[in-house]
Structures are given as C-alpha cells and as structure tokens.
Structure 1
Amino acid sequence: MTIRAVVRGVGHYLPDRVVPNAEFEKIVDTSDEWIRSRSGIERRHFAAEGQTTSDLATRAARAALEDAGMQADEIDAIVLATSTADLTFPSAATMVQANLGMTKGFAFDVQAVCAGFVFALANANALILSGQASRVLVIGAETFSRLMDWTDRGTCVLFGDGAGALILERAEGAGTSADRGILSTDLNSDGRYKDLLYVDGGASTGTTGHLRMEGKEVFRHAVEKLAETAHAALEKAGLSSADVDWIVPHQANIRIIEGTAKRMQVPMDHVVVTVQDHGNTSAASIPLALSVGKARGQIKPGDLLVTEAIGGGLAWGSVVLRW
C-alpha cells in the first residue's frame, strides 16, 4: 500500500474587470499586435479597488469545495501560494481560513513567485504523506496589477489577477505510476539569478515597489529549466514524455509554453493554454488552467498531467499527477 494525495476538486475565480490589450495603447507605447506577437496575451482580469488576494482566493476555494462536494470544516490545512498577500503578515491563508469559517486545522502561505503553486502542491503532498493532514486545500492567488509600473511597457502588459484552488485528499494506491494522485515532484532554485525578476520594494525599502524583469534572460532560462524539471519529475515517477496526456504549464508567455512543449516532444494539442485570456497570473496560473481545462472537458479522470513553472528567485519545479 502506498499513500497518495489525490485531487478531489478544483475551482477558480477571476475578477469582473476584463482588460483588453487595446487599453494599454492609451498609457504606453504598445499595440494589441505587439503584445499578442510577443506573449500570446489578448486580455487579462484586474481586481477591483478594495478587492484583495485573500478575497480572490476565498472565491476559488469555495468553487473547489463545491466541486469536491465538501464543506470547509472537512479540510485540515490550507496552503496558499502568493507573492501579493493582503498584508506583510498575517498570511493570506489564515484570512481565507477565517472567510471559510474554519476554526480548526492550520493555514500558511508559500512564496516562490510564479513557481509558487508547484511549491505549494509539493508541500501539501508532503503534509499528506507524513500524516500531518488528510485533506489539504491548495490555492494560488495573485493581484499582480498592484505591483505594476505603468510606464514599463515590457512588464505592465503581461500580468493579470486571479485565483485557482484544488483539494488534495489522502488515498491508498498500489505504488505504481497507474495510481491516481501526485506521483512525483521536483523543486529547484538558484538565488544567483535574483536580479532577473524581482520587486524593488519590501521591508528594506518601506515601499511596496514595482516588478522588474530582464525579459530575454528570463525567457532563456525558462525554456531550458522547465523542460529539465519536467523530465526529472517524470523520471522519478518511472514515466516519460510519451506517457503525458496534458502539460499544464505556468501561463507566462506562449513562446515559452511552445518552446517547453517542443523540448519535451509533446504536441501543443496536449497542452492546456489559457494565457490568451488571463495573462500571467503568477502563482494562480496553474490552478486556473487546471480548473479551466477540466471545465473545457480537456482534463479527464485518469489523465497523466505534468505541471511546471518558473519564477523569481529563480525558483522552478514540476509536479507529475494522475487526475
């Protein structure tokens, strides 16, 4: 018998405000064609004034609970991936816990920027395998619109707000790659690349700061490192790219998504793509794509999925799971 962390429900939430590319033509030197050709993004959602990351996360969590047919008091833990928590502390996860009416269990945030949800999944999996929890609500939620420098056309057009969530539950498996649930994880970071993608604010400056990115360098690292981590996770699970039904990647840039799929030798019709509608929602992008992929009828029970992401740090990783 092998313990597995199996997906029981998934859900997402997007703010009401939809921002098409054309809106940026009014504030920076750009165009719809320029943004589409370089990123694949057509539109994104921005949170309303006063709408916080924990608000978005709570909406996504409720959708996942409904999908799983569970109540909040059946959840043992919340792991929330975000770089845009409402406050420096306490964690956004504890705010979601309160919003859901949970008075037991525990909740904490994970901060690995765009790789955050992969890191959160790995942590939730470990909690279940160690016996710390039987059911874990894993959330990715961001309000990156609050970090934008609206004079920087290279970054402000790329990001959006949103949240996605899934519920993992302890289950017994046979210990083979045919089991449902998380089969392997692979996490990495290298702090030497801090200056490629960061926010120039925080406790050291007393300001929130703005996102700064060396786009060409991030792109170069992304394609190479994402393919490597995906192959590493598949190898740990005793699988290969030929076994993959769906890649569910971090939705940063269509060219990165295409480049990674090519390196993995997985055709694009086996890749869940949502970047055109959401932009880069950082830690929210993978759970958003999982929820949308299920709603579209792409992701079905028994499918083998690889999720992979890279973000500031640099931090990157992947998870192999059977739906």
Structure 2
Amino acid sequence: MAVYSVIIGSGKYIPDVVIKNEDFLKKSFINEKGEKIPKTNEEIIRKFQEITDIQERRYLKPEYNTSDMGYFAAKEAIETAKIDPETIDYIIFAHNFGDILHNNQKSDLVPALASRAKHMLKIQNPDCVAYDLPFGCPGWVQGIIQADYYIKSGDAKRVLVIGAENLSRIADPHDIDSMIYSDGAGAVIVEARESDKPIGIICHKTRSDTYSEAHFLKMDISYYPEYEDNTLFMKMNGRKLYEYALNTVPGLVAETIKKAGISIHDIKKVLIHQANAKMDEAIIQRVFKIFGLEAMDSKSIMPMTISKLGNNSVATVPILYDMIIRGEMPGHSIHSGDYLVFASVGAGMNVNTFVYRVP
C-alpha cells in the first residue's frame, strides 16, 4: 500500500465586522495619477459590484491580529480532527504581511506567525517545526503541497496548514481596489494514511512567472498626494493580473487533472481563489473548453463566497473547503470518492493547483 496525504480536520475564522458596499459611499477615490476619479461613488460602486460580485466583506476587530485568526482556525481544525496537538510534526502558516496593528500599518514578522500560533496552541513538542510561507494568495495551497512532500518523504505524519490574512489594514483607503480586500483565516490538519487505492492528494503543480510579471502586485504609497505619511499599501495592476490569470490558471488546472489520470467529468468541485467573480467564471469556462466542452454551467462545480466574504487572500480556499464540509454552502456537499480541484493565483506571480480525492 502507498502513503497518501489526507485532510482529517478543518477550521476557519471569519471576522464579525461586516462592511457593505454602501459603506464606501463617502470615500474619496483617487487614481494612480493622484487625481480624483471623475465619477460619482454610486457609479464606481455599482460598476465594482457588477465586475467582482462583491457586496460585502469582513474586517477584523481592532483587538485581534492575523496570528490570532490563524490560531482560532487552527484550534478548530485540531478539535475537528480529534487529535493531540503534540503529535503535529509541522505548522505551516501562509500569509503575506504578518501581524499589523490596527493603528500601526507596519508589518510585524518576528517571531514568525507560525511560532505565535504554536505558542497560543500551547504545543510544547520541540520536534513540531513551525514556519511561515509568504507566497501571495496561493500560499495556503502551496502549504498543502509542501505538507504532501513531507508526508510522502516519511518526514511527517501530521501537518497543520494555516492560511490567514488581514488585507483591510494594508489597503489604501483612496484606492478603488480597497473594496476588494477582506480578512479571515482557514486551517486544516493533513495526515499520512496508507491505502491500496489513490486517496487524498493525488497530484499537484505550481508555476512562478517573474520575468515580466513579478510586480503586477506590489507595495507602494497612497494614491492620495497629501496622505499623512509614506505608509506602504498593496497595489495591483488589475488588467495585467486578470490577463495573467486567464492565460495560466486554466492550463495548469487542466494539466493537473490530466496528470491525475481522470476526466473533467470526474471533478465534483473546483475550489478556487476568489478576487473577481467574472475572472473565475472566465477561468472555469476556459478549463471546460480545453476538455472540449462549451458554455457549461459552473454553479454546481465552482462554489463562490466572494459576494459576502470578498477577497481574503490565502484564507479564501481553506474557508471555502471548511464551509462545504460543515454544510454551510447551500447546494454544495462533498462525499467520499469525490475528486476536488484546489487552485489559486496571486502575487509573485504564482499559480498552483492540486487534485484531491475525498477518502
């Protein structure tokens, strides 16, 4: 029998503070030239919702931070898995900005957020190695891929993979893109399991494009020329990012499905990172087209959370998985034997995906 990596428990943390689109009506939106955008906020918000499908997003309360969210999600995953946390061999914490105080927007990365999470979980085992993984929005998916490597090599039996991000605190309040960003955390326990048939993570694929794509997402000062200081905020070239995603994600997903030796018809769910609903729909339709299918209905295969949760970066995919597992996504469920595709794209630029068979 072969050894496979299977998910035995999951958890999430979705902040309580709900920010609706109308909450941005009084914002002053400035373009990259430092000029006020010549449209009413009503027009800007209406067009934004039409493109992204985002109606509201979640913000973290001032008293919490990214590491706190990761801890909450990890604790729930451990409880769901019904394991002793001292038996965890690795803690991989995917994020991009560390802890950011609500009144101080500088990234705090020491100690590592994985170390902070291990401390809060009260794990004493020194052989439990805790480290961070900054890899853009695909960070959590890459963490799962690394966990699979550890398990397949025999170096680990259990790995905790956390994805948490606090994007609301690194968003330029004068940038339209600030309406995309949200906060949250998701986590899973991945365990080694012997099986005479393929289960868990079947195969995976990652690519990084940096020659001309590295700075589609970057840090820069506010668009507002008279902003009070030189605080760095996340900035993105939305058009270039959209084009990159459409040109890379469908092919990588199709390649991984083929590598798994299965058909597109075997895939029950595609759990994809969500920053723009129109982009995700275009991606899945291109995947269908690669397999010779035209204009398929994606609603049953690609569950979406973006309308209510926005883009919470590395947390999107694990939150989505946990919601389905717990029956919190109407019309969506996962059963033993189902094939799932997990996929993400983001800063780097990085793209990754893996095929998973539910045990």
TM-score scaled by structure 2? 0.84
1:180 equivalent to 2:217? Answer: no
194, 202, 218: which one aligns with 1:198: 218
Within a 5 Å distance, the mapping from 1:154-165 to structure 2 comes to 155-165=177-187
Which structure dedicates a bigger proportion of its chain to helix?
1
CA distance in 1, matches of 2:308, 2:58: 8
| Displacement of 1:73 | 1.7
242, 250, 254: which one aligns with 1:227: 250
| Displacement of 1:231 | 1.2
CA distance in 2, matches of 1:319, 1:199: 29
Structure with larger Rg: 2
1:212 equivalent to 2:235? Answer: yes
SS of corresponding position for 1:159: coil
| Displacement of 1:288 | 0.8
SS of corresponding position for 1:149: coil
Within a 5 Å distance, the mapping from 1:289-308 to structure 2 comes to 289-296=320-327, 298-308=333-343
Paired residues, number:
315
Task: Report the residue type matching 1:156 in the other structure.
Answer: S
1:54 equivalent to 2:67? Answer: yes
Within a 5 Å distance, the mapping from 1:104-143 to structure 2 comes to 104=125, 105-143=128-166
1:26 equivalent to 2:49? Answer: no
Task: Report the residue type matching 2:68 in the other structure.
Answer: D
| Displacement of 1:91 | 1.2
189, 194, 199: which one aligns with 2:208: 189
CA distance in 2, matches of 1:200, 1:4: 42
Comparing 90-99 with 22-31, greater Cα deviation is found at 22-31
246, 263, 275: which one aligns with 2:306: 275
Other-structure match for 2:319: 288
Other-structure match for 1:83: 96
Gaps of 5+ in 2: 29-39, 100-107, 222-229, 289-295
1:92 equivalent to 2:127? Answer: no
Other-structure match for 1:6: 6
Task: Report the residue type matching 1:11 in the other structure.
Answer: G
TM-score scaled by structure 1? 0.93
| Displacement of 1:238 | 1.1
Contact 1:186 1:229 in 2 (8 A): yes
SS of corresponding position for 1:239: coil
CA RMSD of the aligned region, Å? 1.7
286, 303, 317: which one aligns with 2:352: 317
CA distance in 2, matches of 1:129, 1:320: 16
Gaps of 5+ in 1: 202-206
| Displacement of 1:208 | 5.8
Query: Deviating runs (4+, > 4 A) in structure 1?
Result: none
CA distance in 1, matches of 2:242, 2:154: 39
1:39 equivalent to 2:52? Answer: yes
| Displacement of 1:33 | 2.5
Shift of the 5–156 alpha-carbon distance from structure 1 to 2, 3 Å rule, reads same
Contact 1:294 1:300 in 2 (8 A): no
Task: Report the residue type matching 2:203 in the other structure.
Answer: S
| Displacement of 1:190 | 1.1
CA distance in 2, matches of 1:228, 1:53: 33
SS of corresponding position for 2:138: helix
Contact 1:21 1:35 in 2 (8 A): no
Comparing 290-299 with 143-152, greater Cα deviation is found at 290-299
Q: Share of identical aligned residues, percent?
A: 30
CA distance in 2, matches of 1:72, 1:276: 34
Shift of the 64–41 alpha-carbon distance from structure 1 to 2, 3 Å rule, reads same
| Displacement of 1:89 | 2.4
